[in-house]
Chain A
Amino acid sequence: EFVLTQSPDTLSLSPGERATLSCRASQSVSYSYLAWYQLKPGQRPRLLIFSASSRAAGIPDRFSGSGSGTDFALTISRLEPEDVAVYYCQQYGTSPLAFGGGTKIQI
Chain B
Amino acid sequence: EVQLVQAGAEVKKPGESLKISCVGSGYTFANYWIGWVRQVPGKGLEWMGIVYPGDSDTRYSPSFEGQVTFSVDKSISTAYLQWISLKASDTAIYYCARTDPFIAGRPFDFWGQGTLVTVSS
A and B form one complex: no
